[in-house]
């Protein structure tokens, strides 16, 4: 059984994963997760767009203890990724060696199973991984 997304409307999986963002019809600013109103100007005419296949790591930390409600593996990286198009998103980060994460690294969006639900079905979520990690 293919993984189900942790929540509908957050990301696409194929052909290349992208985040589903809201884009304001008035001020044209993107926001993530998409909401029904613009968090910048308050307009309620917000469309959907996709972006974020790649980005640049802005800052990060390593989480060693699972926060309440988190069912995935620890440790994991957590931080902010700057996307082309002017959006900075909060994201889980994965890397073969989390200690090698560095500000300014080129990152790529990845969608993969994160945990299994109560019925043992895989549940997928997004994360950013260093571009170099996928070449090895």
* Contact set with Zn ion (CB under 5 A): 24, 26-27, 38, 40-41, 43
Nearer residue to Zn ion within complex by CB, 44 or 117: 44
* Token code pair at residue 45: 């005419």
* Distance in Å, CB of 44 to Zn ion, minimum: 10
* Distance in Å, CB of 38 to Zn ion, minimum: 3
Nearer residue to Zn ion within complex by CB, 42 or 96: 42
Nearer residue to Zn ion within complex by CB, 22 or 79: 22
CA distance 76 to 99: 10
Nearer residue to Zn ion within complex by CB, 26 or 117: 26
Three-state SS across the chain?
Answer: CCCEECCCCCEECCCCCEEEEEEECCCCCEECCCCCCCCCCCCCCEEEEEECCEEEEEEEEEECCCCCCCCCCCCEEEEEEEECCCEEEEEEECCCCHHHCCCCCEEEEEEEEEEECCCCCEEEEEEEEEHHHHHC
Nearer residue to Zn ion within complex by CB, 43 or 90: 43
CA distance 30 to 46: 9
* Distance in Å, CB of 40 to Zn ion, minimum: 5
* Distance in Å, CB of 118 to Zn ion, minimum: 39
* Distance in Å, CB of 30 to Zn ion, minimum: 10
């Amino acid at each position: 059984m293919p993984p189900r997304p942790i929540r509908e409307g957050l990301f696409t999986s194929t052909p290349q994963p992208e985040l589903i963002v809201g884009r304001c019809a008035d001020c044209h600013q993107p926001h993530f997760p998409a909401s029904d109103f613009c968090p910048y100007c308050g307009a309620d005419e917000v469309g959907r767009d996709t972006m974020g296949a790649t980005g640049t790591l802005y800052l990060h930390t390593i989480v060693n203890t699972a926060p309440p409600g988190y069912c995935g593996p620890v440790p994991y990286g957590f931080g902010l990724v700057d996307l082309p198009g002017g959006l900075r998103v909060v994201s889980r980060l994965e890397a073969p060696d989390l200690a090698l994460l560095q500000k300014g690294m080129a990152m790529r969006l990845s969608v993969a199973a994160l945990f299994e639900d109560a019925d043992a079905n895989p549940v997928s979520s997004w994360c950013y991984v260093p571009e170099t990690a996928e070449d090895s």
